[in-house]
Structure formats: structure tokens, C-alpha cells
Amino acid sequence: MKKFMYLFFHFSLVVFALNAQEDCEKNLEKANSILLKKSPFGQQNTLFALVEPCALQGDAKAENYLGMFYLNGIQTKKDINKAFYYISSAAHKAYPEAQYNLGRLYKYGMGCELSFAKAMEWFEKATENGSQRAAYTLGYMYFKGYGVTQDYQKAVYWFNQSTDVMAVHFLGLCYYLGYGVPADENKALEFLLNNNTVNSKTLAKYIQAQQKEKNEVAIEATMQTNIEVDSTYIQPEVISEINIETYQETLTKEMVAGEWIGKLVQYDWSGKTIERIVPISINFDASGNTAIGIKASINGQEKTASAQWQDGNIYIDTNLSFAMDRLYPDNPNELSLDYTVFTLVLQQKELLGTTYLTGTVDTFIESWTEYGQPMSLVLRPKDSVDALDTEILEALAAQENQFIKLYPVPFNNSLTVQYQLETASEVFVELVGLHTAQHISILPNTTQQAGEYTYTIPIDSSLPEGYYVVRIIAGNQIYTRMIVKSN
């Protein structure tokens, strides 16, 4: 009798579990149908009621859904800790969409400590289990150097692992520009024209228009009998003989004061290829104690701003933004980008008797919540003779790698600092308020060996919003980078 009761009880549990599983499959099918229809699910609790019981039973798909509901506040109050709990549980059950979402949580530090290493780990697991979006995300991170060392070839590798429309789009872009692969406009158009997204269609039209223009110019050139030669061109071998002297002493405000004119140079994401050169003029008013007034004309746009002078760098503490057309438009609703200038890191160089101000320009693109592409400045005194040829400009504007990487931008409840040491050094890292006396220690004086280091610090909610500078002293060198704190 006892054996019969045991078997009956065990059979009942199995039947109950099968029924529960069948109910969950039906519930999740209904939930998925509602989500695909983009129903006004904020006005009802149908989705949450369908998904939560299944998630509590440990169904991975339901857990992923529930985690996303908590993350986005769908039919419930936002709770990133619960979001992380449910998504992490589903990810550890090898559910690919949850593995991708868990990678995103680690990438942005939501419900967990920001960790690019863990983000990459989960994106790779998701890719192995069939997530096309995860493979695209890996490619995107390598394409821009977001949290990893920038590498076009690795970007192309991961784009090739994905059928996601944006991965295909970026492959087309890579072939068009020759990033990580030999430039091939026809192959680029193959990817773009067969890709079902407005981004690819827009870029394909742009490339075709450029091809048409090139053909028209070539036809016109064949009809000309006399071709003028630019006598100002300097042969590349001559450049190696030109001595560009860099002053080693720290700049003072007085050294940058006055009117300067020159060029703003925009590079690709690797910082090695010049993509655009635009005119710029700046008047630095250094009459204040630490403040600097700025009047600038950037690409024909007149701008004024105030800035602070610290550690020989200029930190823009009011909005200084300028617009530039996108070089390779792939979004009909975003044909230009607004660049907000954060920092000017300058030094003096002398060439052919002319003193130049050169250095890097740190910018932020608000619509992307990312730093902009690498940019350099080459300025000369307004009343000096212009000796800038293309090759000389390239030599003066040579892009230096950004020593400090900061995430996220802007930051709120946590901040991740990433840097790489070439040699063993005594290192000190702190966060400094640009307009306050606040100093938050990130790393006390510590001897570190050569290598890459990443630190994530929690940020007290009472820390005022505004401009902050991450300051790193490594050996006898001081490195800084500005970032904005938001609420």
C-alpha cells in the first residue's frame, strides 16, 4: 500500500509538472504575442501575470522576460537588482537571450559592478548559443574600442559571426572604408543593398552618389589637355628631415593666451587615419586666476565658453558644442552630429620658426552617450605665416592614445576607470570636482607593474551633478580626463 501511495504521489507530481510546463509555454506564447503587437502593456497587468508564475518555477525564458520587465519598469516598478537576479538565473541555464542581456548588464554596470571582462564572457557564451545580437555587440565594442583595445580585424571577425542586420551593416561600412579588410566598394554595396535596414539603404545611396560623382569628375578630367600641378606639395621623404621641436615644460595660461588659427583634425576610431580637417580659430582670454574665456569659430560656427585651467590642461565647464555632418551618413534622421568639447590637452611645438599649439580634443556625443572619435588641434598665432602643408599638418597633429578610459558617460551611481601602464610605476588615482574641493580617492599610492588596470567605484547619491576630472599620477606623469556626473 505504501509503495502504491508513493508511486501515485510521484506520478501526480510528474503530471503536475508537465501541466505546469504546458501552461507556461502557453503563457509565454501569449506574452510574446502581446510584446510583438506592441500593445499598451503599461495600462494592464496581463504580461506580468502571465510571466511571473513561470519565472518563479524556474523557466529560463520567463526569468529573462521578468528580468527585462524589472529593468524597464514594464507593469512593475523598476528594480535593477531584481532584473539582474532573474536575468542572471536564466543566463546560467544557457538561455542565449538572457546571456546577451546579462552581458549588457555587466557592460553598463546595472545591478552589478561594471565589468567588461564579464560582459565579453557572456556575449561570447550567448554567441556560441546562437545569439546574433551578442556577436554584433562584440564587433561593435572592438570597432570603437569600447572597453577593449580597439581592433578593426577583431570587429570584422565578430560581425562575420552574426546575421543581425546591424552586423551586416557594419560589415558593409568596413569594406567601404577598408577597416580591418581591404577597401572594396562593390563588396560593401553587396552587404548594404541586400540588408533590410534603413541604415544600410541610406549608406548605400550615399556610396552610389559618391561613385557617380567620381565618374563624372574622371570623364571631365580626360577632356582636359592641361593639368595644373600644385607646386606647394612637399614630398614625403622631405618630411623626415623637418625637425619639429616639442617644448617639455608645462604650459602656462599666459603661453596660450591670445588669438590662434588653424585646423581641427578628426581621426577614425583607431586614431591612425585622418578622416576630416576643418578650420578653427580660438581666442583664449587668460586674465582670470584659474578661469579661461574662450571665443571660437569651429567649422564656421561661432561659440563662446568658459573653462578652468588645471594641470596644464583646459577643462570646458560650460557647454561648448559644434555640429558636423556625418562623413558616412547611415541614418536619415541623423545626418549630423553634435560634439560637446570636454578637454583640450595642449603642448607647444616649433616648426620652421613658427610656434604651434597642438594637442588632443576630448569630445562627447550626447545622442550616442559615448565619447567622440579622436580629434587633434593644430593652432598657430593669428599673425604668423601659414606654413601648414598636408604632410606637415599630419606630423604636428599626430594622435596620441588616450591614457584614461571612463565608463559610463555620463556617470551616476558608479564610475569605471581604465588605464594601461607601459612600465612599473607608483600610481595614484582620484576623482576631483572641477568647481568644488571634493577629492574622492580611487586608488591610494600603489606600486603597479606594467599592464592594464580597471577600477569601478560606487558613487554616493549625494555627490552633486556637474563636471569632474579623473586624475592619475603615474611616476612623474600626470594624466587627466573630464567627465560629467548626472542624476
DSSP 175-240: HHHTSSS---HHHHHHHHHTS-SHHHHHHHHHHHHHHHHHHHHHHHHHT-S-----TT---HHHHT
Residue 389 is predicted with a pLDDT of 67
Under 8 Å between Cβ of 301 and 326: no
What span, in angstroms and rounded, lies between the C-alpha atoms of 192 and 200?
Answer: 5
Mean pLDDT by 10 residues, the chain (487 residues): 46 41 78 71 70 92 93 91 96 97 94 92 98 98 94 98 97 96 96 94 93 69 43 32 52 90 93 92 89 94 93 90 92 92 89 84 91 92 73 76 88 91 95 87 94 90 90 92 90
Residue in 415, 404, 417 with CA at minimum distance from that of residue 460: 415
Q: Most distant CA pair in the chain: distance in Å?
A: 109
Could you tell me the pTM of the whole model? 0.84
* Segment holding 51, helix H or strand E: helix 46-56
Angle at 248 between CA 246 and CA 252, to 5 degrees: 105
- C-alpha to C-alpha distance for 76 and 69, rounded to whole angstroms: 7
The pLDDT value recorded for residue 231 is 30
What pLDDT is attached to residue 57? 92
SS3 category, 8: helix
Q: What b-and-e string marks burial along 398-414, b requiring 16 or more CB atoms within 10 Å of the CB?
A: ebeebbbbbbbbbbeeb
Beta carbons within 10 angstroms of residue 92's beta carbon: 14
* Cα dihedral value 378, 380, 382, 384, nearest 10: -140
Q: In terms of DSSP H, where are the helices of 244-402?
A: 253-256, 390-396
* pLDDT, tens digit, 9 for 90 and up, residues 208-244: 998 887 776 655 655 454 433 333 322 333 333 445 5
Mapping DSSP to helix (H, G, I), strand (E, B) and coil, where does residue 463 land?
coil
List 359's β-bridge partners, or say none.
Answer: 346, 377
**CA nearest neighbour of 183 among 161, 207, 149, 200:** 207
- b/e map 290-321, b = 16+ CB within 10 Å: eebebebebeeeeeebebbbbebbbbbbeebb
Position 461 scores a pLDDT of: 84
Angstrom distances, CA of residue 197 to CA of 1, 79, 155, 166, 203:
67, 33, 20, 8, 10
How many residues in the chain? 487
Which pLDDT score, from 0 to 100, does residue 245 have?
55
Q: Is the dihedral of CA 89, 92, 93, 96 positive or negative?
A: positive
Please give the DSSP secondary-structure letter assigned to residue 400.
P
Rounded-to-integer distance, Cα 270 and Cα 180, Å: 11
Half-sphere exposure (CA, 13 Å, Cβ side) for 277?
Answer: 13
User: ∠ at Cα 483 (472, 326), nearest 5°?
Assistant: 120
- Bond before 381 cis per omega within 30 degrees: no
Neighbours of 89 (CB within 10 A): 19
Give the bridge partners for 308, in sequence order. 291, 315
Cell for 111? Answer: 545591478
Contact 64, 44 (CB under 8 A): no
For Cα atoms 18, 23, 24, give the angle at the middle one, nearest 5 degrees. 95
Residues 357/379, Cβ–Cβ less than 8 Å: yes
